[in-house]
A and B are shown apart, each in its own frame.
Chain A
């Protein structure tokens, strides 16, 4: 009996779904996929706008003109770094910052590798940071300018130009009194590890058991925003913005909008994944370029690893972005420290105007270009369509399983589907629960295999060295071994059990797993839409379509597995 819904309409709906199941699944998948791709086309998405009125981006004239000081810092930085081929010149940076009048501190940290790589050997590193105190304001808030510095032997960009820019910005900002927040100039070593150590110590947390940072002697209040710099040379072609953070978290869209507006004001091109905004977004080339940008952003987001040091700030509710100054070999544009400095000055003036953390604009979005966005409200419907095929198939399978159950004479099958009261309620319940319970062993054992794969990584790496394999190879072969065992386990188990009726009913198994799949995909989409979309696009067609096969070839290979029961078909 339906208390909250009308049983007759429910039955009609289920009958409709069952009859057109395959068509519906196919259609919703295609429409969802096409709609998702169409989101990159300009008329389907929206132009970016500023939600935070306090920012006043680009309103104030920039006065930065310390490009010559920046050039001197650049030369000095390159000379100093030659004296330390394996590490970074922390002492020189510390001296320069103190000379500029900042409160300078050095932090030591140590780290070891997880999964027993390098046998728990510890490595050390140092960060240095200088705090420019706001003289006229109470020092309760701060903004961070951070910089990953690399030794000469590193293959990545050494970032000396970034260091020069940062020191000249510190010199400029020190000369002015209109700062309402402290500004922290942070130089870190060892990429993400140094930043994580600093953030952990700053907030008195311990995010990782492998990274130990010493206590910080100086702090600047709660951090409102952070900008990470990665400049390749003193003359760059454009600014590339790196957004993706840990686990696919993105910074607030207003921060990106501010940077894009300021870059435009100073005449330097902002790009996302090195693709600038096309001049004619409504044309086919414009759509192609936007789609490429959006897909590149999704590809970068789905890995879950941060695309730059900024990604580690997001967990502390600090909006952060990396500005990469890219030098093209055959670049047409040439922007020096003057332009870069003015962009940074404008950015920090806007951040200075903030009274609250960024909270007005979007946190979940995809960017097809620098001035257009796809918000969560725009991408969830097509994603929903992609995944709803699972649920439709699950309903259809469950309905067909129910209708194939033994019913009392004279009673319509519809009643059984609707789950109405009857004298044979117990009977039905028994068969129902047997159907449901029968899939329990399969599900539990599959989950256990997943756990073995997840927790066994350390074991695989430990067993790699006796076989003279690298840890990566050990991990790979271990994973493959788990996968093959998982595929063949029913053969090992069902030998003892010849009674087919106690094995899992394939319809129940499939419908339950489809529901689980839908659940997992929807939950993932709330956190990392790119990962969820990739999984949906690849998994949904396969899992919805797959069914037990009668083919002799397959059954001989996987004998014992998924031997369907005749009476259910």
Chain B
């Protein structure tokens, strides 16, 4: 039969441990894993190629190479919206049918069996692009065509094609202007569809496309400044087309060195392709971005890093209570939409 002290002993031990735990509350922030400090928990990518026709093979190769890198670094197909305006692999002029290469050495077929194109051919229009970004899609749109990002997603938007001062050409028939794009991103911000957004554009006079942005937490990277042309990198003489653009070529070279555990920073990525490599000047717009780019990991945007750590420590989250408006929006009852 246990004595009264024996019955009380577990309780005393527990109280002692709890005291110890609360005493160590002061250093709680050190216990939170790094990956939860950046503020995002999931990654989305929207990769768009806007030009069609056989001689624009390189734009499709650009986008598919980005898709390949982004998938390799962990973002799954369900979180990637891939928009490609024409079919190069099955183009009758392709001497290597069912393949798309991004290099003359033809080592990597970027159009292999696990490519999922969400918007293909004539579905790649300005209207569809803006609907994808702002979420104003009809209810019947399948999930694969619908980006379901929220306010703790980091979104990567990559666009390639033919552009000019203040516009980007879609499908040889229409254009999207930089102001429309800025407004679309503002709608995204208002609807809390992103936590941070990285916008990369590889066209002629690309810088003009991000100059009009006014929403917070956006970083813009362009392959050329206003008044400059972005140039293609090299010809594949076996296929007979220009196969990749300069900025994307050097960006991919950088990304090849990146693994999901890599500690490479965004600051290093922004230095990719100096003028002697790219011939055009790479433009970077960080004025709307809150964090210091030298402390941001490349995988914050290009990869989908989910660190799962089993912690034995009790952590009390110091979350500020949501405002009434936020709470309403969370419950889908707010009027401002």
Interface residues of chain A, those whose CB is within 8 Å of chain B, are 53-54, 56, 59-61, 134, 136-137, 176-180, 349, 352-353, 355
Closest B residue to A134 using CB positions? B92
Which residue from chain B places its CB closest to the CB of A137 in the assembled complex? B92
CB-based contact A61/B54 at 8 Å: no
> CA A61 – CA B94 in complex, angstroms?
14
- The 6 A-B residue pairs whose C-beta atoms are closest, nearest first, are A60-B240, A137-B92, A136-B92, A180-B92, A61-B237, A178-B95
1/0 contact string of B233-250 vs chain A (CB within 8 Å): 001011111100000000
Known: A56-B240, A60-B238, A349-B240. A177 touches B55 (CB 8 A): no
User: Is A59 in contact with B53, judged by CB distance below 8 angstroms?
Assistant: no
Write out the residue numbers on chain B whose beta carbons fall within 8 Å of the beta carbon of A180: 91-93
Taking CB atoms, residues of chain B closer than 8 Å to A176 are 95
Chain B: CB-nearest residue to A180: B92
**CB pair A60 B55 closer than 8 Å:** no
By a beta-carbon cutoff of 8 Å, the part of chain B in contact with chain A is: 53-55, 90-95, 97, 235, 237-242
- Chain A nearest Cβ from B77, distance in angstroms: 28
Among the listed B93, B97, B238, which residue makes an inter-chain contact with A352, where contact means beta carbons less than 8 Å apart?
B93
Instruction: Check A60/B53 contact, CB under 8 A, given A136-B92, A178-B93.
Output: no
Q: Min CB distance, B230 to chain A, in Å?
A: 15
Q: How far is the CA of A77 from the CA of B55 in the complex (A)?
A: 39
Q: Shortest distance in angstroms between A345's beta carbon and chain B's nearest beta carbon?
A: 11
Chain A to chain B contacts (Cβ below 8 Å), 5 pairs: A60-B237, A61-B240, A137-B92, A180-B91, A353-B240
Give Cα A137–Cα B87 distance, bound, in whole angstroms: 13
- How far does the alpha carbon of A177 sit from the alpha carbon of B240 in the complex, in Å? 14
Complex interface: chain B residues within 8 A of A178 (CB): 92-95
Q: Is the beta-carbon distance between B92 and A179 smaller than 8 angstroms? A: yes
**Assembled-state Cα–Cα distance A353/B240 (Å):** 10
Q: Is the interface of A mostly helix, strand, loop or mixed?
A: loop
Does more than half of chain B's interface fall in helix, strand or loop, or is it mixed?
A: loop
B61 → chain A closest CB, angstroms: 15
Chain B residues whose C-beta falls within 8 Å of the C-beta of A137 in the assembled complex: 92
Tell me if A177 and B97 are in contact (CB < 8 A): yes
Q: Say whether, besides A134-B92, A136-B97, A179-B92, A353 and B54 are in contact (CB < 8 Å).
A: yes
* Least distance between B237 CB and chain A CB atoms (Å): 4
Name the A residues within 8 Å of B242 (CB-CB): 59
**Inter-chain contacts of B97 with A (CB < 8 A):** 136, 177
Given A56-B241, A59-B237, A60-B238, A353 contacting B55 (CB threshold 8 A): yes
> Please, how many angstroms separate the alpha-carbon atoms of A528 and B6 in the complex?
119
| Complex Cα–Cα for A420 and B139 (A) | 76
Chain B contacts for A355, CB-based, 8 A = 53-54
Closest partner residue, chain B, to A135 (CB atom): B92
Q: Identify A59's interface contact among B92, B94, B235, CB under 8 A.
A: B235
Which of chain B's residues have a CB closer than 8 A to the CB of A352?
93
Give the residues in chain B near A134, CB-CB below 8 Å: 92
Bound together, the chains give a CA A59 to CA B93 distance in angstroms of 14
Q: Which residue in chain A gives the minimum CB-CB distance to B94?
A: A178
Establish whether residues A59 and B54, one from each chain, have CB atoms under 8 Å apart when the complex forms. no
Q: Cα distance A352–B55 when bound, in Å?
A: 12
Give bound CA distance, A137 to B95, whole Å: 13
**Least CB separation from B172: chain A residue:** A355
Bound together, the chains give a CA A249 to CA B242 distance in angstroms of: 35
Please name all residues of chain A whose beta carbon is closer than 8 Å to the beta carbon of B239 when the two chains form the complex.
Answer: 60
A349: chain B residues at CB < 8 Å are 240
**Known contacts A178-B95, A179-B92, A353-B93, then 20 further A-B pairs from the complex at CB < 8 Å, ordered by chain A residue:** A54-B54, A54-B55, A56-B55, A56-B240, A56-B241, A59-B240, A60-B238, A60-B239, A61-B237, A61-B238, A61-B240, A136-B90, A137-B92, A176-B95, A178-B92, A178-B93, A180-B93, A349-B240, A353-B240, A355-B54
Given known pairs A59-B235, A60-B237, A60-B240, the reply for A53 and B94 (CB within 8 Å) is no
Shortest CB-to-CB span from A176 to chain B, Å, is 7
CB distance from A111 to the nearest CB of B (A): 39
A64 nearest CB across to chain B (Å): 14
Q: What A residues does B235 contact at CB under 8 A?
A: 59
Task: Tell me the smallest distance from the CB of B241 to a CB of chain A, in Å.
Answer: 6
The answer on a CB contact under 8 Å between A59 and B95 is no
A160 vs B91: C-alpha distance when bound (angstroms)? 36
Residue of B92, B237, B242 with most partner-chain A CB within 10 A? B92
What CA separation (Å) do A451 and B239 show in the bound complex? 60
Q: A56 CA to B235 CA in the complex, in Å? A: 10
**Complex-state Cα separation, A143 to B269, whole angstroms:** 48
How far does the alpha carbon of A343 sit from the alpha carbon of B92 in the complex, in Å?
22
* B-side contacts of A53, CB under 8 Å: 55
B157 to A: closest C-beta gap in Å: 27
The interface residues of chain B lying within 8 Å CB-to-CB of A60 are 237-240
Q: How many Å lie between the Cα of A136 and that of B98 in the bound state?
A: 12
Whole-angstrom distance between the alpha carbons of A60 and B54 in the complex?
13
Query: Is B53's CB under 8 angstroms from A54's CB?
Result: yes
Least Cβ distance of A65 to chain B in Å?
Answer: 15
How distant is A310 from chain B, measured CB to nearest CB, in Å? 25
Select from chain A the residue with minimum beta-carbon distance to B91.
A180
Cα distance A137–B97 in the bound complex, in angstroms: 13
CA distance A179 to B92 in the complex (A): 6
Give the complex CA separation of A442 and B242 in angstroms: 68
Chain B residues, CB < 8 A from A179? 92
Residue of B nearest to A176 (CB): B95
Closest CB of chain B to A514's CB: distance in Å? 50
How distant is A547 from chain B, measured CB to nearest CB, in Å? 61
Least Cβ–Cβ distance between B274 and chain A, in angstroms: 28
Report the nearest A residue to B54, measured CB to CB: A353
Contacts of B55 in A (CB 8 A): 53-54, 56, 353
- Return the chain B residue nearest A136 by Cβ: B92
Nearest CB in chain A: distance from B333 CB, A = 52
Q: B120 to nearest A CB, angstroms?
A: 18
In the complex, the chain B residue whose C-beta lies closest to that of A179 is B92
